[in-house]
């Protein structure tokens, strides 16, 4: 029978990898706390309509990437595994009247998302994002806070070759005349574009900029007017204020007039942080302002801005320095050399964990002494407790300090008494830091 394996574009995380993920997640929680952002968690699936209305009917996400189905129990409601989190967060913001509780909500999330994209390095079908949404402020300092949080996040992790690309696609009222101009400029050339672009020009011409086809991009360079050149004076002032704040904060940026980003809800600021360490999928994160989304989804008019960052891409930029060890490590390995001693070994392990806070592993494979010592080394144990038959008969066990080689005979009934609470050497716990 053929083995059952993961679905294309999904993957397992094994123990030597989850440790790193947990470190990053801890770092994110701490970073968000430092900035006064509160965590929000939303369900794995939502009504399809939320994304159609929120993200936009003609976007890649909605037209080809969503995992959707019809729930017959709910009278045929369309449901979708969430492909992004801005729309669900705004749904929750409206549903729980968060705006009524505070004029500005600063929210963050870490979550799994689903998009049926062509998998490649840095692009999966189930992937993880962390992100932030600040809902309530129309002012440029809110954009600057969001962009600087993204930039300094990566900088503080030591990721180099960072670059911030920023643009403004103007407020919603400039969209209609610009799109008319765009359609007029591209229509004479539209037969040279791909099929998708040809259908999009009538429905939502801005989405032509999302095309991954090189020749379509070249045609856009040649024939498309740039939206930035058609934004209002207020939009320009907003944009200038944002970039001036970035300059003051010493955040280098480039103005990329072609960057409109592939989701319909953006207004004014759009931005991405990229790293040349990533290759083709070079966006570490992306975001922007979405002043109309709360209203579109049925709430009161409320300005907002945010970003989301791919966790896998972050880990890709960090994996160069990865000397990952396949095995989890422990403080103490208990080698058991005969069956009768197993119960005392297990009781002692439990007692040491509980009373000394040290991590302990007990042999459960009944291997030879040599194999058990090898295992202890592999687990980087600081001590090995050896319970041999002769010693056991005399209520004794041998404790070996793996670093110094020192060996002590200790009564089996008081193995935990041998260790002082300072003995354990977890690399990341508070008590070890304090004892330094
Ligand atoms: P997005 O550009 O679609 O924006 O995704 C943000 C980030 O998620 C990307 O820059 C990338 O790092 C990561 N990402 C996206 N798709 C994949 C994938 N298939 N595999 C791996 N990583 C991926 C949004 O999702 C918006 N909701 C961002 C936002 C928040 N705008 C305002 N607030």
Atom of ligand 1 nearest to the CA of 309: 7
Mean pLDDT of 285-299: 98
* In the chain, % of residues over pLDDT 90: 86
Under 8 Å CB-to-CB from 228, ≥6 apart: which residues?
Answer: 167, 168, 169, 170, 255, 257
Q: What pLDDT sits at residue 323?
A: 52
For the segment 142-170, what is each residue's pLDDT rounded down to a tens digit?
Answer: 999 999 999 999 999 999 789 999 999 99
Q: What pLDDT sits at residue 436?
A: 34
For the segment 50-63, what is each residue's pLDDT rounded down to a tens digit?
Answer: 999 999 999 999 99
CA 81 – ligand 1 centroid, Å: 15
What distance in Å separates the CA atoms of residue 308 and residue 294, rounded to the nearest whole number?
Answer: 18
For the segment 376-428, what is each residue's pLDDT rounded down to a tens digit?
Answer: 999 999 999 999 999 899 999 999 999 999 999 999 999 999 998 766 544 44
Which residue's CA is minimally distant from atom 30 of ligand 1? 307
Q: What pLDDT sits at residue 326?
A: 66
CA 69 – ligand 1 centroid, Å: 23
Mean pLDDT of 90-116: 98
**Per-residue pLDDT band at 101 (split at 50, 70, 90):** very high
Residue 335's H or E segment, with its range, is strand 332-336
What distance in Å separates the CA atoms of residue 407 and residue 265, rounded to the nearest whole number?
Answer: 67
Does the structure show a pLDDT above 70 at 23? yes
Q: What pLDDT sits at residue 178?
A: 97
CA 286 – ligand 1 centroid, Å: 6
**Tokens of residue 308, six digits:** 């989301």
What distance in Å separates the CA atoms of residue 307 and residue 287, rounded to the nearest whole number?
Answer: 4
Q: Are 37 and 132 in contact (CB under 8 A)?
A: yes
For the segment 211-227, what is each residue's pLDDT rounded down to a tens digit?
Answer: 989 999 999 999 999 99
CA 97 – ligand 1 centroid, Å: 26
**Tokens of residue 377, six digits:** 């080394």
* In the chain, % of residues over pLDDT 70: 95
Report the relative pairing of strands 383-387 and 396-401 from DSSP bridges.
antiparallel
Decide whether any atom of ligand 1 lies within 6 Å of the 283 Cβ. yes
Q: Is 221 exposed, middle or buried (0-12, 13-18, 19+ CB in 10 A)?
A: exposed
**Per-residue pLDDT band at 280 (split at 50, 70, 90):** confident
107: Cα separation from own chain's centroid = 15
Q: What pLDDT sits at residue 328?
A: 80
Q: What pLDDT sits at residue 430?
A: 47
Q: What pLDDT sits at residue 109?
A: 98
Under 8 Å CB-to-CB from 71, ≥6 apart: which residues?
Answer: 77, 78, 79
The residues pairing with 88 across neighbouring beta strands, listed in sequence order, are none
CA 333 – ligand 1 centroid, Å: 43
For the segment 338-352, what is each residue's pLDDT rounded down to a tens digit?
Answer: 999 999 999 999 999
Decide whether any atom of ligand 1 lies within 6 Å of the 149 Cβ. no
In this structure, of 14-23, 60-69, 77-86, 296-305, the range with the lowest mean pLDDT score is 14-23
Report the relative pairing of strands 253-255 and 162-168 from DSSP bridges.
parallel
Atom of ligand 1 nearest to the CA of 285: 10
What distance in Å separates the CA atoms of residue 316 and residue 322, rounded to the nearest whole number?
Answer: 10
Decide whether any atom of ligand 1 lies within 6 Å of the 51 Cβ. no
Decide whether any atom of ligand 1 lies within 6 Å of the 309 Cβ. yes
Does the structure show a pLDDT above 60 at 195? yes
Task: Find where tokens 């422990």 sit.
Answer: 330
CA 390 – ligand 1 centroid, Å: 62
pTM: 0.88
Q: Which 3 state secondary structure label does DSSP give 410?
A: strand
For the segment 259-276, what is each residue's pLDDT rounded down to a tens digit?
Answer: 999 999 999 999 999 998
**Per-residue pLDDT band at 279 (split at 50, 70, 90):** confident
Nearest to 59 by CA among 216, 200, 226, 221: 200
Decide whether any atom of ligand 1 lies within 6 Å of the 86 Cβ. yes
Q: Which among 283, 308, 316 is the best mutation to test ligand 1's pocket, defined by most ligand atoms within 8 Å of the CB?
A: 308
Cα atoms in the Cβ-side hemisphere of radius 13 Å centred on 298 = 12
Q: What pLDDT sits at residue 1?
A: 87
Does the structure show a pLDDT above 70 at 324? no
Q: Which among 92, 117, 310 is the best mutation to test ligand 1's pocket, defined by most ligand atoms within 8 Å of the CB?
A: 310
């Amino acid at each position: 029978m053929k083995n059952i394996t993961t679905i294309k574009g999904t993957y397992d995380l094994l123990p030597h990898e989850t440790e790193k993920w947990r470190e990053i997640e801890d770092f994110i929680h701490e970073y968000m706390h430092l900035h006064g952002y509160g965590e929000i968690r939303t369900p794995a699936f939502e009504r399809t309509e939320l994304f159609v209305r929120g993200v936009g009917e003609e976007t890649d996400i909605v037209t080809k990437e969503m995992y959707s189905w019809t729930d017959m129990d709910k009278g045929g409601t369309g449901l979708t595994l969430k492909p992004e989190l801005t729309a669900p967060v705004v749904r929750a913001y409206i549903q729980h009247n968060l705006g009524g509780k505070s004029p500005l909500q600063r929210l963050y999330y870490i979550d799994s998302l689903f998009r049926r994209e062509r998998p490649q390095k840095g692009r999966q079908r189930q992937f993880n994002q962390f992100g932030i949404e600040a809902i309530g402020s129309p002012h440029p300092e809110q954009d600057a806070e969001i962009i600087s949080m993204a930039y300094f996040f990566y900088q503080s992790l030591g990721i180099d070759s960072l670059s911030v690309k920023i643009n403004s696609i103007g407020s919603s009222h400039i969209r209609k005349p610009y799109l008319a101009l765009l359609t007029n400029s591209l229509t004479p050339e539209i037969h040279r574009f791909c099929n998708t672009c040809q259908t999009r020009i009538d429905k939502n011409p801005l989405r032509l900029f999302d095309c991954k086809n090189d020749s379509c991009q070249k045609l856009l360079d040649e024939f498309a007017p740039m939206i930035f050149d058609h934004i209002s004076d207020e939009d320009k002032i907003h944009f200038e204020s944002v970039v001036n704040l970035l300059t003051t904060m010493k955040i280098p940026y480039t103005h990329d007039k072609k960057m409109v980003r592939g989701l319909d809800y953006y207004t004014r600021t759009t931005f991405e942080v990229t790293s040349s360490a990533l290759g083709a999928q070079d966006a570490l994160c992306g975001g922007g302002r979405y002043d109309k989304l709360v209203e579109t989804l049925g709430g009161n008019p409320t300005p907002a801005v945010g970003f989301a960052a791919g966790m896998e891409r972050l880990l890709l930029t960090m994996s160069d320095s990865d000397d990952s060890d396949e095995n989890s490590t422990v403080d103490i390995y208990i080698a058991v050399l005969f069956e009768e001693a197993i119960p005392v070994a297990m009781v002692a392990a439990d007692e040491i964990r509980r009373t000394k806070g040290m991590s302990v592993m007990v042999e459960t494979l009944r291997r030879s002494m040599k194999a058990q010592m090898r295992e202890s080394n592999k687990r980087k144990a600081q001590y090995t407790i050896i319970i041999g038959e002769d010693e056991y008969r005399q209520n004794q066990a041998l404790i070996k300090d793996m670093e110094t080689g020192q060996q002590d005979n200790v009564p089996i009934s008081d193995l935990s008494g041998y260790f002082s609470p300072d003995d354990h050497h977890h690399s990341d716990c508070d008590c070890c830091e304090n004892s330094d």
